[in-house]
Structure 1
Amino acid sequence: MFIHVLYILIIVFYSLCVLGYFIDFIQNNQKVNRISFWLLSIVWMLQGMYVVIRTVEYNRLPLMTIFEGMFVYAWILVTFSLVISRLYRMDFLILLVNIVGFVILTISVFAPAREVSPQLAELFIFELLIIHVSLILLSYGTFTLSFACSLLYFIQHQLLKRKKWGQWIKRIGNLSKLERLSYVFTLIGFPFMLLGIILGVVWAWIKFSMIPWYDVKVVSSFLVLLSYGLYLFQWTMRKRRGYGLALFNIAAFLVLLINYFLSSNFSGFHLW
């Protein structure tokens, strides 16, 4: 009963937090901004409590169901938001990231809550698989931050192109900074995903003596890796910058969302 009440509290506090950041976005209200930051901190602590309680209750890390994966994904985004809010003054980035986090957390309510079988639980405890899932979720978190920066770049570019001056332009951030942060977050997330996929392949070979190359989830994961690899190639080798590269990064994130939400439902191997 307590864990259900805790989950409701997380949803309530998170919704108030996102609402506060949105009010600050509209009115440039620093008092509301500070309140939103502390609400976000409370959400992070409640999420941590939820993860600990669920770990103790089921005697395993809460990464084995669709619901748990979404919950941890949202927790990673909240964690990154708190860190960024201390390192940079980028309130709009925080708003966008937490809109994504809140949507993920809300969708998790409707995710299948069935428990996994003891056989699958036994397999999942294997360390390689735990690290595999953790690295993939970390890559999703950093790619979400990269997407948010590119989306802000897109918005800022449109405002400047239409000569719509105002406080929003200053608060969104300058184009070069957004572009650089988008690249940095992608550069961090790419090795997370690469290592995660490699460990997943190794685990599958050890446990089943086969690798499901044609599984929908596996194929779409490689498409995500390829998309972000092309983004990094264009940045580092071809020295591409600007609006077109930001749009490419946004498109890469859409590929990631398809991988995350759709491929699991059609995968014969990734049965959460």
Structure 2
Amino acid sequence: MNWIYPITIVLYSISLIGYFVDFLQHNRKVNIMAFWLLSIVWVLQTVFFVIRAIELDRVPLLTPFEGLFFYAWLVVTLSLAINWFFRVDFLVLFTNVIGFSMMAFSLFTPDGDVPESLSALLASELLIIHISFILLSYAAFTFSFACQIMYAIQHQMLKRKVWGKRLLRFGALSKLDSFSFIAVMIAWPFLLIGLILGFIWAHSQLAYVPFFDSKVISSLIVLGIYAVFIYQRVVKLVRGYNMALLGIAGFLVLLINYFLSGQYSSFHIWY
């Protein structure tokens, strides 16, 4: 199984380069090649996930390495579905920059099993569901972020009157805005339910809920930012460039929550 992971990352990087070349030169053949390479990446990721589950006799979601890997797998799955059903040319590129980054970061995390001292505590179906819901929300927020980045770039191109085929391939601003909003509307409930399940698990296993843990606080901040996003869109009917910037800010806070807040957490000592 050790050979699958590095090959997957190499193919993923080649696919991403192909999409970037297509972004610069509008090369349809390179785009098709990049798509099929990304499809192979998805197959290899799925095989790796299944083999690891069989070897460890559990759902491989409990370690930081497994979390990053599953996050990347979700992003690849989502981007392939987007490419197949919606055909927004650059969306796969922008989405998979995040997905590839997750897999690259996973190379620097230990890929071993859960320590024996924590295995009994972490052996919980509720914890697996909690992590799954959180990562599903992150994948949807990633898709929304990609749409918002594309919206912001296209807005600036239109403002500066940068015309050409590349501008047309970004897709309509209204479509990017709609995709972004739908993704947030899917992601926000997943994040909320994931946090609630985490609180329930903590109370059942530890008899207290760590509301003042840094990762919990930052997760609630992310939830609040996107709640403001939804409120502004649904109630105030606000759309456009400023909403895209708000969504981008929310995702940057999400990344801080995922990577940095755990360093100062007294509760998430393993994840």
Q: What is the DSSP-based 3-state SS (H/G/I as helix, E as strand, rest coil) of the residue aligned with 1:4?
A: coil
1:121 is matched by which residue type in structure 2? Answer: S
Whether 1:99 and 2:97 are equivalent positions in the alignment is yes
Alignment partner, residue 125 of structure 1: 123
Alignment partner, residue 157 of structure 1: 155
- Native 8 Å contact 2:18 2:33 kept in 1: yes
1:89 deviates by: 1.3
Q: What is the DSSP-based 3-state SS (H/G/I as helix, E as strand, rest coil) of the residue aligned with 1:258?
A: helix
- Equivalents in 2 of 1:171, 1:28: separation in Å? 9
The CA deviation string for residues 40-75 of structure 1, in whole angstroms up to 9 with x for no partner, is: 110001001111111111111111111111111000
Whether 1:40 and 2:38 are equivalent positions in the alignment is yes
Structure 1 residue runs of 5 or longer lacking an equivalent are: none
Alignment partner, residue 210 of structure 1: 208
Q: What is the DSSP-based 3-state SS (H/G/I as helix, E as strand, rest coil) of the residue aligned with 1:212?
A: coil
- Native 8 Å contact 1:21 1:91 kept in 2: no
2:232 to 234, 248, 252: 234
- Equivalents in 2 of 1:49, 1:115: separation in Å? 18
1:247 is matched by which residue type in structure 2? Answer: L
- Native 8 Å contact 2:71 2:139 kept in 1: yes
Structure 2 residue runs of 5 or longer lacking an equivalent are: none
Where do 1:21-36 residues align within 5 Å? 21-36=19-34
1:174 deviates by: 1.1
1:212 is matched by which residue type in structure 2? Answer: P
- Equivalents in 2 of 1:133, 1:74: separation in Å? 14
- Equivalents in 2 of 1:132, 1:252: separation in Å? 21
Tell me the TM-score normalised to structure 1 length. Answer: 0.97
- Equivalents in 1 of 2:3, 2:180: separation in Å? 37
Whether 1:184 and 2:182 are equivalent positions in the alignment is yes
- Native 8 Å contact 2:62 2:128 kept in 1: no
Q: Percent identity?
A: 51
- Native 8 Å contact 1:213 1:219 kept in 2: yes
1:268 deviates by: 1.1
Tell me the TM-score normalised to structure 2 length. Answer: 0.97
Q: What is the DSSP-based 3-state SS (H/G/I as helix, E as strand, rest coil) of the residue aligned with 1:91?
A: coil
Instruction: Let me know the Cα RMSD of the aligned residues.
Output: 1.0
- Equivalents in 1 of 2:88, 2:47: separation in Å? 28
1:185 deviates by: 0.4
1:123 deviates by: 2.5
The CA deviation string for residues 98-120 of structure 1, in whole angstroms up to 9 with x for no partner, is: 11111111111012335322342
Whether 1:264 and 2:256 are equivalent positions in the alignment is no
- Native 8 Å contact 2:140 2:184 kept in 1: yes
1:88 is matched by which residue type in structure 2? Answer: F
- Equivalents in 2 of 1:119, 1:60: separation in Å? 17
- Native 8 Å contact 1:227 1:252 kept in 2: yes
- Equivalents in 1 of 2:12, 2:22: separation in Å? 15
